[in-house]
Amino acid sequence: MSTLPATVVDELRRVLGDDGLLTDSSECLAYAYDNSRRQALPDAVALPTTREQVLALVALCRQQRIAITARGRGTNTTGASVPIAGGLVVSFERMNRILAIRPGDRVAVVEPGVLNGDLQKALQTHGLFWPPDPTSAPYCSIGGNLACNAGGPRAVKYGATRDNVLALTAVTGSGDLVHFGAAVTKSASGYDLSRLLIGSEGTLALIVEATLKLTPIAPQRRALRALYRDTASAAAAVARLMAQPVTPSMLEFMDGECVRLAREVGGADIPAAGALLMIEADGDDATLAAAIEALRIAAQGDGCLAVDTAPDEAAREKLWAARKALSPALRTIAAGKINEDVVVPVSQIPALVDRVTAIASSHNLRIVCFGHAGNGNLHINILFDPADAGEAARAEAALPEIFAVVIALGGQLSGEHGIGLAKRDFMSRAFDAATLAAMRAIKQAFDPDGLLNPGKVLPP
């Protein structure tokens, strides 16, 4: 049962209704962990259905000094939605309405609990889509996408979450309802606080409504598969591809081990190679052929073994399905996995791959890389056996070395997964004291009592 005072539980039930509050530990357990495999049991779980309920429960928690952890579907990998301070988890799964789709304005207005995949299905009938497309799109929520600034393969051309939101309504840690932005694509009116909330991982406010910027679905897509002798030649090709005028709609990188997994586990028809690029362009009849040819030419160069066009849509879908299966497939070759989604300038990808290869060799570890190369956003997976104490220690020792390389190359600790708990203690290496002080001042302004997702993002 909950350890919250009985009077608080009674008041929360009054606000949320009898079925809107979970206090039994067996029910709360489902909200105690995320995809990082970290776990901490909350004292209770709130299931609001309206913004008025969110306002009321934040006011009550502030009065009683109860920590609040916002939650979507728990697909994040950083521990951001794990309630390490106990308190109240606020799950937005019941605030799942698509409030409006306005094709003429190219906007959709949604509550945070709407699933990304459900929104995309609703938009298809209007010939529109919302660009963020993380691997977990069928079952992750828009609120979670907003919390960590989710991206995905399409971000190389269409941008990540932060680039595709026009307005937000949120409840701050001080209990105020705030409105940022508007359903327009141009604005020179004050501070851009919508973009500040996006990626803040629930540490500044609880988002209760979002106005999303939509994009027309391109009439056609074509994909190229480029095979390379080694990772260095593939990484150099990425820099060439992004330096020419045609922006691919997707540009994904896989090292040799990922190629093997995509073939053997994902079922993709891929020859053996040291590395692979999946390149896609979208457009219409008048432009697509020329775009694909420009990308084909840029993909060729030293170390390129072949550049092939996916023969049909079924082959293209199979290739992308194999790519999306990569992260879980890594569990088939190692029980332990540290997955970091670092990002560097695209021109620095060859240097990043070279340095990661050297770190793997020096620590006698298997490290595989894949990800959204067009953004410089690579998923670096350190594979190890948790039962082998020495190997686990080497894996932990390699991590700060990788982060140091990323920072030295002008990159960032995360491209789309966020900071959460997993990278919190490395923030002081990535940012100087004055910058962290400015971040803490912003946190103080939005959440003066430090109740929203305490212990996340900013180092102690």
pLDDT in tens, 247-258: 999 999 999 988
Structural domain harbouring 254: 220-326
- Those residues whose C-beta lies under 8 Å from the C-beta of residue 244, and which sit 6 or more positions away, are 294, 298
Domain final residue, candidates 75, 91, 107: 91
Q: Is the pLDDT of residue 361 over 80?
A: yes
257: CATH: 3.30.70.2190
Residue 270 maps to a domain: yes
Residue 349 maps to a domain: yes
Predicted pLDDT of residue 266? 72
Same domain, 111 and 82: no
Residue 458 maps to a domain: no
Mean pLDDT confidence for 239-245: 95
Amino acid identity at 186:
K
Among the residue ranges 3-12, 195-204, 312-321, the one predicted with the least confidence is 312-321
Domain final residue, candidates 299, 326, 353: 326
Confidence class of residue 2 from pLDDT cuts 50, 70 and 90? Answer: low
Mean pLDDT confidence for 184-209: 96
Same domain, 353 and 420: yes
Same domain, 338 and 309: no
- Those residues whose C-beta lies under 8 Å from the C-beta of residue 351, and which sit 6 or more positions away, are 344, 409
Stated as kind and residue range, the H or E segment containing 143 is helix 142-148
Q: How many helices (H) and strands (E) does the chain have?
A: 16, 18
Same domain, 33 and 134: no
Mean pLDDT confidence for 228-237: 93
Mean pLDDT confidence for 260-264: 82
Summary mean pLDDT of the chain: 94
Q: pLDDT by residue (tens digit) across 152-165? A: 999 999 999 999 99
Same domain, 211 and 102: yes
Q: pLDDT by residue (tens digit) across 397-412? A: 999 999 999 999 999 9
Same domain, 176 and 130: yes
Residue 166 maps to a domain: yes
Alpha-carbon Rg for the chain in angstroms: 23
Domain final residue, candidates 56, 91, 126: 91
435: CATH: 3.30.70.2740
Same domain, 209 and 138: yes
Q: Is the pLDDT of residue 311 over 80?
A: no
Residue 459 maps to a domain: no
Q: pLDDT by residue (tens digit) across 21-62? A: 999 999 999 999 998 889 999 999 999 999 999 999 999 999
Same domain, 185 and 261: no
Residue 15 maps to a domain: yes
Residue of 444, 456, 443, 459 whose CA lies nearest to 196: 443
pTM confidence score: 0.93
Predicted pLDDT of residue 98? 98
Same domain, 339 and 425: yes
Predicted pLDDT of residue 214? 98
Predicted pLDDT of residue 332? 76
Same domain, 86 and 121: no
> Structural domain tally of the chain?
4
Residue 456 maps to a domain: no
Q: Please state, in angstroms and rounded to a whole number, the distance separating the CA atoms of residues 104 and 334.
A: 50
Residue of 208, 177, 209, 206 whose CA lies nearest to 68: 206
Mean pLDDT confidence for 87-106: 98
Confidence class of residue 1 from pLDDT cuts 50, 70 and 90? Answer: low
Residue 1 maps to a domain: no
Q: pLDDT by residue (tens digit) across 423-442? A: 999 999 999 999 999 999 99
